[in-house]
Structure 1
């Protein structure tokens, strides 16, 4: 009996140690680097530019003080930091490059963003003269950290670095989590409380979830649309079907018309979903008739 008890205690200890070690590992793995952006002044209403007929990417215009050209960054709340695309900025004089970092100062509306440590990824291409939309990088969730932001999909604009919350959202805010620069919203779908990641990088989709949830949510015999999608560095296959439901965000119900599951996620992406306890990702498409206000300093969100 003593031997059995000793073995049981040893196994239990190993389980606890393994679980704790896994938690520490993934906690560190998904903890973003320091926020290197300096953000000054309110932006005012910055017009949204959509890339692709299906609104595949949400773009915001940026300007450099000594360059009259309008460039664009993809606004991706699923990215924890802002980055430039290496090949797209090779010939831009207002960006200094050293190793894998860039130093730059640019404007989004009236907001001035300055940093000496903007990451550079080995993607993109030089925005030629004949290309009307010159995309040179990604605007990540670091622009949101400790700040107030309004995304107005109804009128196609974004306002960054607000000094106060808009009047229509007063007394109409709910809690959300801005955990490791990830926007996690609690909602109720079909009577079940869920946690959703809002990822504006998955712009053309309403709800991305796993295959099991997809089978439950989709309307039987509905047509399945199969597409290939790029998610660096992987090519993903998406399966989209019609559904009928409402995601209830406390006092606001948002209709859900389509549900999608994805094949090709990396093990790290799967582990991020599992580690955080999220049920799926919400893209821009589900919010196209709405406004979203986020106060990441107080972790309060409003949906109108």
Structure 2
């Protein structure tokens, strides 16, 4: 039995909302710096073929609720998965899953009473990685379904430390991610890059939402949302007479209501104009929190769903990005494998 990824994601989702909504009130200045990056990546480019995880949302099947990255552990034959979530600054492991793996394959995981593992080696895609320190956190009590060799067991979250200081190509149509120290000159020639804000391992894209200039927080863990914004903006873009669909999102000790409505709008960024069909706003946040977000020029959050027909190039070292329609066939394998300078 695999973990309820919707519940796991809600924890990170609300954390992101808190950062966004309190940004104008000075709360963000009180947030401590992100943890150190303890991931040791290869010095050359490596590839990851990912899988989509689907789930039922608003009584309908949503095939793009999460990106899963295949991971292998030493001395364990089974393939596990990490959820790719740039909304979380650091890669973490789920304690309940680690306990189950350690019980069956003690040489794969040496799990004690500590809240972290040290010098943890694993294989991600076609590369060997080492985490000199990685947090182990408890989210639920589910174990590993060993009887089903095809079960997709999610044992942790791959956070923004995976792309920190690197050049990353997310090829959504081909379901591939390529990570390298830098882009080649070949890929930069003829492609127009735009600047974005990269701070505390968070990605903020400059964008126009229905012609209005703003900033959008990018979170690969929020796959199901084309646009998460404030109520006023969502209602302004709404299709006349469109029904509002509601769902509950847990925020610590209370529930917040997510309202999703059909819209007829576009988001323009990196020289591309992308139509969107739904916008979501949250009820339960105070008006002061929403005003703080607006004052900071943050118009909302977007996830993978917006880019399903694109290749997204992110250079976190130089804070620039490009968005390439799939028909142009610019493949992420053109990323350099040169060492970091």
Which of structures 1 and 2 has the bigger CA Rg?
Answer: 1
In structure 1, what is the equivalent of residue 131 of structure 2?
Answer: 115
CA contact (8 A) 1:43 1:110 kept: no
Q: Residue 120 of structure 1: CA displacement?
A: 1.6
Of 51, 62, 69 in structure 2, the residue corresponding to residue 49 of structure 1 is 51
Say if 1:195 and 1:163 are closer, same or farther in 2 by CA, change over 3 A. closer
Q: 1:237 and 1:276, CA in 2 relative to 1: closer, same or farther beyond 3 A?
A: same
1:297 match: secondary structure: coil
Aligned-partner Cα distance in 2 for 1:266–1:152: 37
Q: Which runs of no fewer than 5 residues in structure 2 stay unpaired?
A: 1-24, 55-60, 325-341
State how far apart, in whole Å, the 2-side matches of 1:91 and 1:283 are. 31
1:158 equivalent among 170, 177, 184: 177
User: What are the Cα deviations for residues 77-103 of structure 1, in whole angstroms up to 9, with x where unaligned?
Assistant: 110111111111113333333521123
**Could you say which residue in structure 2 is the equivalent of 1:284?**
304
1:68 counterpart SS class: coil
Deviations 1:189-240 (A, max 9, x none): 2221100000111111100012122111222211222223467786543211
* SS of the residue 2:78 aligns to: strand
C-alpha spacing 1:43/1:62, structure 2 compared with 1 (3 Å)? farther
In structure 2, C-alpha distance between the alignment counterparts of 1:44 and 1:143, rounded to whole Å: 12
Secondary structure in 1 matching 2:236 = helix
Structure 2 CA distance for partners of 1:188 and 1:49, relative to 1, 3 Å:
same
Q: Which has the higher contact order (CA 8 A, sep 6+)?
A: 2
Structure 1 SS opposite 2:100:
coil
| Contiguous gaps of at least 5 residues in structure 1 | 1-21
Matched, 1:32 2:64: no
Query: How do 1:250-261 residues align onto structure 2 when only pairs under 5 Å count?
Result: 250-261=270-281
With structure 1 as the length reference, what TM-score do the two structures score? 0.83
Distance 1:238 1:45 in 2: 35
Question: 1:60 pairs with 69, 76, 79, which one?
Answer: 69
Would the alpha carbon gap of residues 71 and 277 (structure 1) be closer, same or farther in structure 2, given more than 3 Å must change?
Answer: same
Is the Cα–Cα contact under 8 Å of residues 47 and 127 in structure 2 kept in the other structure? no
Aligned length: 282
Cα deviation, residue 164, structure 1: 2.5
Structure 1's 276 and 79: CA in aligned 2 closer, same or farther, altered over 3 A? Answer: farther
TM-score w.r.t. length of structure 2: 0.74
1:240 partnered with 2:240: no
Contact preservation (8 Å) 2:230, 2:290: no
Matches of 1:298 and 1:111 in 2, distance apart?
A: 24
